[in-house]
Structure 1
Amino acid sequence: MEEQTIKIKDLDANQLERAVGMLKAIAHPMRIAILSHLEDGKKLTVTQIHKLLNIEQSTTSHHLGILKDKGVLGSQREGKNTYYFLKHESLSHIVECVSRCTIE
């Protein structure tokens, strides 16, 4: 299936506001690192993420909360664990694009 290209001019004010919120949420080195671990449909718990990034679990939870609140991440409860995942896989393209644009 071909991906539809949407231009900024085609977005209404609400869509632009949500897009700005998502971009602000992503615009943090630790949150970009979190997204990089959730690419390709991966689902991880807070514990798995904090161990991968070697940061405090409370800090991890804080960043996950911001990303979830702004619609970047979704979560799914399975037993005692809550798994986090990219709500829109295309968000990983933003990080990829920014990475390529910053290479000198």
Structure 2
Amino acid sequence: MFIYLNMANELTTEKLEKAAYILKTVAHPLRLKVIELLGNTEKMSVGELCDVLACEQSLVSHHLNNMRLKGLLKAEKQGVQVFYSLKERELLGLLACIEKCNCNM
């Protein structure tokens, strides 16, 4: 099934490039789960994320730092802990699209 965009809703090259940048950044199951988790709460510490994701701190920190450097997350240091939050809550729309997708995978 093809969906045709009406010319008034045409995606600009700039929007498509930004979308590709974001999609490349989140193209990992752990990163998508981080977005989901941070969408359900204001902020979470690295330790809290590690516990929920059942992953090593070094792996989670690597993904969080990458997402922060690319502008998707905010990091706030409080003492020895770092708390992460979504910089743009619109990222949650990606998860909604994924949930609705009926791809035969």
TM over 0.5: yes
Residue in structure 1 matched with residue 60 of structure 2 by the alignment: 60
When Rg is computed on C-alpha atoms for both structures, the one with the higher figure is 2
Alignment of 1:1-104 (within 5 A): 8-9=11-12, 12=14, 16-102=16-102
Shift of 1:71: 1.2
Stretches of structure 1 lacking an aligned partner (at least 5 in a row): 1-5
SS at match of 2:92: helix
Q: Please give the root-mean-square deviation of Cα atoms over the aligned residues, in Å.
A: 2.1
1:7-58, CA deviations, whole angstroms, 9 ceiling, x for partnerless residues? 522x63xx65443222111111111111111004520111110100101110
Q: Which runs of 5+ in 2 are unaligned?
A: 1-8
Match of 1:3 in 2: none
- Report the identity percentage: 31
CA distance in 2, matches of 1:72, 1:101: 23
Most deviating of 20-29 and 47-56? 20-29
Equivalent residue of 1:8, what SS? coil
CA 1:102/1:70 → structure 2, altered by over 3 Å: closer, same or farther?
farther
Give the aligned length.
96
**AA of the residue aligned to 2:28:** H
